[in-house]
Each structure stands twice: as C-alpha cells, then as structure tokens.
Chains A and B, each alone.
Chain A
Amino acid sequence: MTPWRRWHPPWDDVRAVLLLGVVVVHGFAAAPLARSASRKRFDLPLARDELARLATLAGRVGIDTSAEQLADSAYDVVRAQSGLRNAVLAPFADALELTGTGQAWGLFTYPDRFPARLVVEGRPAEGAWRRLYASLDPNATFNRDKFVYRRIRGVYDGNSDKAGRAWDPFVSWVGMEVFAAYPEIDEVRVKFRGIHTYEPGESAEALVESGERAVRVRRRP
C-alpha cells in the first residue's frame, strides 16, 4: 500500500458515478433483448422462412424439431426477455421518452426474403388504372423523391405484411398528393406487390412478384 493517496477532486467521483449510471442503463437498453412479444409475428413469411432454415440446420446436427416447435420455444424466450427488459427500464422510461434517447441498433437483423413493392395507381372516373409510382420502376416515378425519403419509407415499409395504424392515413396523404398533381384522376389505389427474393441456385429469377397486400382506394372528395 502506498503511504499516500493521490488526491482527486470530488467532482471526478461524482462524474464517474453519474456516467456509471448512464452506461449501465443504456448498456442494458442496448442488450439484444426483445422489446415486445407477439406470437403472431412468428407467422410472418420472413419469420417462417427463418424458422424453416433453422429447423433444417438443427436436423443436420441431429436435433429433430420443426419450425412450429421452434416458434413456440422462441416465443417463450422472447416473452421472458421483453418482460425483463421492460421491468428493468421502467424507472427510466419517462426520462428516455422525454429526451427520445435510447439504444436500439438492429440494422438488417433479418434480411427480408419477402419484401414488397409500393405501387400507386390512378384513374379517371370510368377509365383504366394507370401506374403512377412503383418502387424502382423507371416508368412510374410520381413523387419518387418523397416516397424514397427515409421518413416516408419508414411509414409505409412496416405495413407491407400487415396494414398497421399509419397505413390508412398514409394512403389518404398519397391520395391528396395525386389529386393535386393530376386533375384528371378521380380514384387512387395504393397497395403492395409481394416479392420473393431467390438466391442463386434456388430459382432462375432473382425476384418473383406475386400477390397484392393492403390494397386501399381513395376517391376525389
């Protein structure tokens, strides 16, 4: 033991304590624990595809299971995780909400082999539907810059499997944009075209479009 201790300003200790608190709370928030649990989410095409692949892999190492069994087990784990996460962070929830700070960094955690193409169509009262916008379609580029803008994409992207809370107001906004730009159009249809992405060797095509989801129509007021 040294005969003397190096003196530190008290503020050094106070700062260290405060930052320890910040690092512990945010460190826990950053931990890869589920935020919410929903058994229905395991039925989405993306989840079913992932579970089927995992079941196949498990079979190769001698573990006999099915996608359904894996979904049940995963749901139990996810439910326990989200309960723990919400309970631990509950005392700090108001502060995190007030400042909009937190930790959630899952970028492309599950690459989606079943994405969707946003399609906007319009027509005169008795006319045929005309494609006005479709993601990456060079012949349908109405409002392209707005639709690919990250905040707007965030609004509609989450609705491609199942229409959520923001979908109908989003479609109404799209309708207003179309009616303002095309006086001859009286009806607007907004929808998703389902896509299946294939890896080389699985199919001759990289992308196969099929089916429509979340179809909504708006008429000129």
Chain B
Amino acid sequence: MSGVWSWWRSLWAGAEHPSVMAVIRVLVGVVFLYDLALVWQYHLITPLWGPGGAGGIGDPSNRAQVVELYRWFGDSAHVARWAFRALFGAVLCFTLGLFTRPMALLAVLIYAQLARVLPDADRGIDMLLRNVLFIYVFVPAGRFWGADARLFGPLGRIPAWPRRLIVLQLVVVYFTAGIQKTAVAWWPWGGFSALYVVLQDIAIARIPFSWLRQVYPVTQLFTAITMVFELLACLVPLAYWYRSTPLRAGWLRAQFNRNAIVTRWWLPMGVCLHVGIAASMQLGIFPWVMLALYPAFFHPDELARGWRRMRGEFGG
C-alpha cells in the first residue's frame, strides 16, 4: 500500500519549466476570446444570457432556482452585458498573464453563471474550458510569457501537477467518449456507418455530404479509426509510465519507448481527427480548444528541444 501511495504522491510532485502551461494559457485564451468575440459580433449577449423580459431565450428569472448573478444584481439586460464584459476582461487578462490566477477564477465563476442562464447554449467544450481554467487558478502560469512576470518577477519552475492533470483530463475526454459510443453504427456489427450518418446531419455538416455515398468505405474506415483513437487513449498513461521507467525490463515497455507511441502515433491521429472535424462540421471552437490543450502532452524540455530544432531548420 505504501508503494502505491508513494507512486501516487510522486506522480503529482515535482516542478518543471512553465513554458508548456504558458503556451496552453495563450492558446486556450485566444480561442476562448475568439468565441466570445463572435457572441458580441452577432449581438447575442442578451438573447443568450439576458432575462426573458429583455429578449433572453433562457428566461432565467422564471426557473426554480434563479442564478446568483440575477438574484444579487437584478435580472436585466444591463447585468447580462456587464457579466459578459467582466468575462471577456477576465479571459483577456488570463491570456495576457495579468493577475492570471484571480482572473482564471473570476472567468470560471462568471462563465458558470452564464451557463446556468441558458444550459442549452452551454456545450461540453465550455465545461472543458472551465475545468482547465479552474486548474489555472492554482498555477502561477502568468510568471512566464505573461504580465505577471514583469509585475512579480519571472519564475523558472512551477509545479508539474497541473500539466499532468490536463493530460489526465484529455485522456478521460477521449476514452469516455469512446466507451460511450455504444450505438451499433460505431461498431463492425453496425457497418461502421456512424461517420457517414453524422455527416448527413444538416444541422452539423459544413456542406451537403450526400456525395459520401460514392466513397462510403472511406467513411467506414474513418469511423473505425475514430474508435481506435478514442479507445487507445487509455494507453496514454501507460505510455507515460513506461517512459518514466525506461530502465525496467519488458518487451512492451521497450516497444512503447522505442516508437514514442503517444507523440509519434496517437497525437498525430488526434490532430488529423480534429482538423477533419473542423473542416467538415460546424462545431465551433471544439476542435481548436482540444488542439490548444495538446502541448500538455509534451514535457517542457521536449517543447524546448522542438523549438530549437525548428529554429535550426528555419535558420533562426
């Protein structure tokens, strides 16, 4: 038992360079800001988050439990607009690394309130955004590539557990998405028809996809690849464990480490999957938020090596 506890404790212990968490902070922040900018551009603040009397679709004041936002500040379109401005400001500060931790907390709390005003408009990716922002409440990630570094001094090391927790979060997202795909269309006995059917959904497809009938076997192949990718997510923690214990014996460990299963095979599959989703479906920021989190799979030293190699190749 003490061995298991020791392993668990060491899993979350340690410190590392803050570059990866800083990169994720900026990427996630930019994607989130883009999405909020669309709400503003389309004049959707009041329809999405305003009270029913002012033209809000959610009609939050007539629910059994009125959200604190409206209970404390009154139910008006004015409050909805101020909540939006505060959210936008908090996410902007978070992205710039200015008072990063309190701004992450502020963004989480306001965004959670808005989610409850109109739950139908709050998608899974919004919950993932809040999960990640909440992790940042505990990370001084603005002390690198951020305004906090100027205000409070730069940090060369931050705790390693937040990045590992983001990796675990992504593994859970993919693996549970895979095991929940119990519809026969996702499996051989359903003819792997899922992707074909999904792409025929007019509300989601970017263009009409009826022509996919001509290349139906290709859609079947991609359905199978999607399932393999999502279910293989459960092997990611094993791959990391193998990588952290390279001197131990075992054929499987050697194969995993020699072939860099996660970074050379699994992650490129994920990138293709999300780029494919972005190209074929109208799911908004979903694929971009997922890709913005991918740097978490790399140790800061790997990121630095990759950056050096890239600069070398491009003569920087």
Q: Judge if B95 is at the interface, Cβ distance under 8 Å.
A: no
Give 1 or 0 for each of A27-47: 1 = CB within 8 Å of chain B CB: 100111000000000000000
Q: Judge if A102 is at the interface, Cβ distance under 8 Å.
A: yes
CB distance from A179 to the nearest CB of B (A): 12
Number of A residues whose C-beta is below 8 Å from B? 68
User: Considering only CB atoms, which chain A residue lies closest to B213 in the complex?
Assistant: A200
Q: Judge if B225 is at the interface, Cβ distance under 8 Å.
A: no
83-107 of chain A: CB within 8 A of chain B: 97-107
Residues in chain A near residue B197, CB distance under 8 A: 111-113, 197, 199
Q: Judge if B115 is at the interface, Cβ distance under 8 Å.
A: yes
Q: B176 touches which one: A50, A103, A176 (CB < 8 A)?
A: A103
Residues in chain A near residue B259, CB distance under 8 A: none
Q: B58 touches which one: A102, A113, A158, A166 (CB < 8 A)?
A: A166
Give 1 or 0 for each of A158-179: 1 = CB within 8 Å of chain B CB: 1010001010011011001000
User: Considering only CB atoms, which chain B residue lies closest to A136 in the complex?
Assistant: B202
Cα separation A129 to B235 with both chains bound (whole Å)? 56
Cα separation A8 to B48 with both chains bound (whole Å)? 50
Residues in chain B near residue A157, CB distance under 8 A: 203
169-218 of chain A: CB within 8 A of chain B: 169-170, 172-173, 176, 195, 197, 199-200, 205-207
58-87 of chain B: CB within 8 A of chain A: 58-59
Cα separation A218 to B204 with both chains bound (whole Å)? 26
The reply to whether A101 and B38 form a contact with Cβ atoms under 8 Å apart is: no
Cα separation A57 to B191 with both chains bound (whole Å)? 12
The reply to whether B182 and A109 form a contact with Cβ atoms under 8 Å apart is: yes
Q: Judge if B127 is at the interface, Cβ distance under 8 Å.
A: yes
Known: A100-B108, A101-B134. A154 touches B120 (CB 8 A): yes
The reply to whether A136 and B208 form a contact with Cβ atoms under 8 Å apart is: yes
The reply to whether A53 and B179 form a contact with Cβ atoms under 8 Å apart is: no
The reply to whether A30 and B200 form a contact with Cβ atoms under 8 Å apart is: no
Q: A105 touches which one: B5, B121, B180 (CB < 8 A)?
A: B180
Number of B residues whose C-beta is below 8 Å from A? 79
Q: A101 touches which one: B127, B179, B200 (CB < 8 A)?
A: B127
Cα separation A8 to B7 with both chains bound (whole Å)? 12
Residues in chain B near residue A20, CB distance under 8 A: 8
Cα separation A110 to B184 with both chains bound (whole Å)? 8
The reply to whether B55 and A158 form a contact with Cβ atoms under 8 Å apart is: no
The reply to whether B210 and A207 form a contact with Cβ atoms under 8 Å apart is: yes
Q: Judge if A108 is at the interface, Cβ distance under 8 Å.
A: yes
Q: B183 touches which one: A50, A100, A149, A199 (CB < 8 A)?
A: A50
User: Considering only CB atoms, which chain A residue lies closest to B214 in the complex?
Assistant: A200
Give 1 or 0 for each of B180-205: 1 = CB within 8 Å of chain A CB: 11111110011101111110111111
Residues in chain A near residue B44, CB distance under 8 A: 146, 149, 151-152
Give 1 or 0 for each of B202-223: 1 = CB within 8 Å of chain A CB: 1111011110110010000000
Residues in chain B near residue A145, CB distance under 8 A: 42
Q: B56 touches which one: A158, A169, A205 (CB < 8 A)?
A: A169
110-136 of chain A: CB within 8 A of chain B: 110-113, 115-118, 135-136
Known: A105-B172, A150-B285, A200-B216. A100 touches B112 (CB 8 A): yes
The reply to whether A173 and B47 form a contact with Cβ atoms under 8 Å apart is: yes
The reply to whether A108 and B198 form a contact with Cβ atoms under 8 Å apart is: yes
Q: Which 3 A-B pairs give the minimum distances between C-beta atoms? A: A100-B112, A150-B284, A206-B210
Q: List 6 A-B contacts (CB under 8 A).
A: A50-B184, A111-B183, A111-B185, A115-B202, A166-B57, A169-B58
Show the binding face of A for B, using Cβ within 8 Å.
8, 12-13, 15-16, 19-20, 22-23, 26-27, 30-32, 50, 53-54, 57, 97-113, 115-118, 135-136, 145-146, 148-155, 157-158, 160, 164, 166, 169-170, 172-173, 176, 195, 197, 199-200, 205-207
